[in-house]
Structure 1
């Protein structure tokens, strides 16, 4: 009896994953508005009821796809491992950027494409992604940036430092896959060269912000 229950659970997990993969491919290619449950069911080789059973609705399925895509790009467990390393904060940042580049450039699946679409044309489902995935991960990244810049947590300048990392990542997700003039230099260059370039870009911006904040604080104290 226990064996039958386990088989049923395994079959359900397999169906869930098959629907998720099929939906991810279709959402990445066509967008949320142009992808119907019927198209997803046909691609996944399931009935329509299976989508509602596992995800509640097409919107619920899309949110699950976004969450899965973001976890592929940057998993919070990987972030925690980087955070726990016995290494300078700059080395941790380099590992973070190398991981992001590897996930986007080294993989041609639907994950990066579906996130790129969502960034180009945000939907209400982005709020779910922010709460479930983005905000918890940002807290770890902000702690790392604070260590690099010595800007204290909660300072507005620290939040702006996220641009030094977020903007290049957005470029990888969006422009690199939609503008041919950028796709070749981004995806045609060695992965490590690209990671090194983005690291240098990020560090340069963080160092400039740190200097400006230190100067502002010094001048304010003198006044």
Structure 2
């Protein structure tokens, strides 16, 4: 295994440069309106380099989506959080705090813009992203929620809990500070107030659902 301190090869550096250039352009103009030629010019490579490293523009966009989601939340970080000595409610609080910090960060990275575009106008790549990148991460989060509620990970009730906890964070991440209406007002609030509210709201709801589930299944 290569040492983490070993410099990247020229090929790895070129691939990374293409990925960054594509992420930047896809975030601004979207997949359909971003040509391979424009990406190549931004990355200072030829179009053949895109095909060499990613197979096609479509393959490059898929790689950009995966990298965007990794930057939002990495599977290894989630697994480390799951295995940490923190109590389950504290693990969830740490995750919510991480997502709020991503949403409030300025300037917003291209990864958030790319993901927001894909959510608002899904392409044929979204299914693959959910299956291969999002799915494994949701499985880890469901285990944390299961520990909090006592609901088995394969029970539909836990999926509803996942949606209820995740939806407010997704609104912040997708909408951004320039969204009109109430969401814009939320972005003007103190960061800690937002975190504390989302954590308290989530844990209170999970406690209630867990208690109801235990009563029904006795």
Match of 1:98 in 2: 97
Separation in 2, partners of 1:50, 1:182: 45
Aligned residue for 2:142? 142
Aligned length: 212
8 A Cα contact 1:79 1:137, kept in partner: yes
CA contact (8 A) 1:176 1:182 kept: no
Distance in 1, Cα, partners of 2:16 & 2:145 = 35
- Tell me the distance in 1 between the aligned counterparts of 2:102 and 2:136: 19
- C-alpha distance 69-95 of structure 1, shift in aligned 2 (>3 A): same
Name structure 2 gaps, 5 residues minimum.
1-5
Structure 1 residue 186 displacement after superposition: 3.8
Deviation at 1:115, TM superposition (A): 0.6
**Structure-1 separation of matches of 2:164 and 2:25:** 32
Map 1:182-197 onto structure 2 (within 5 A).
Answer: 182=182, 184-197=184-197
Distance 1:192 1:18 in 2: 35
Superimposed CA distance per residue, residues 172-201 of structure 1 (whole angstroms, 9 cap, x where no aligned partner): 122235523345434333333222222122
Mean Cα displacement is larger for which, 191-200 or 46-55? 191-200
The CA deviation at 1:208 is 2.8
TM-score, with structure 2 as normaliser: 0.89
Mark the structure with the bigger radius of gyration. Answer: 1
CA contact (8 A) 2:100 2:195 kept: yes
Q: Which has the higher helix share?
A: 1
Q: Aligned partners of 1:198 and 1:164: how far apart in 2? A: 11
1:116–1:170 CA contact under 8 A, matched in 2? no
Structure 2 counterparts to residues 105-120 of structure 1, below 5 A: 105-107=104-106, 108-120=108-120
Consecutive unaligned residues in structure 1, runs of 5 or more: 1-5, 219-223
Q: Describe the SS at the equivalent of 1:174.
A: helix
Tell me how far apart the structure 2 counterparts of residues 123 and 141 of structure 1 sit (CA, whole Å): 25
Worse-matched range after superposition: 10-19 or 65-74 = 10-19
Distance 2:195 2:78 in 1: 17
Residues 104 and 172 in structure 1, CA contact (< 8 A), matched pair in contact too: yes
> Are 1:174 and 2:174 matched, yes or no?
yes
- With structure 1 as the length reference, what TM-score do the two structures score? 0.87
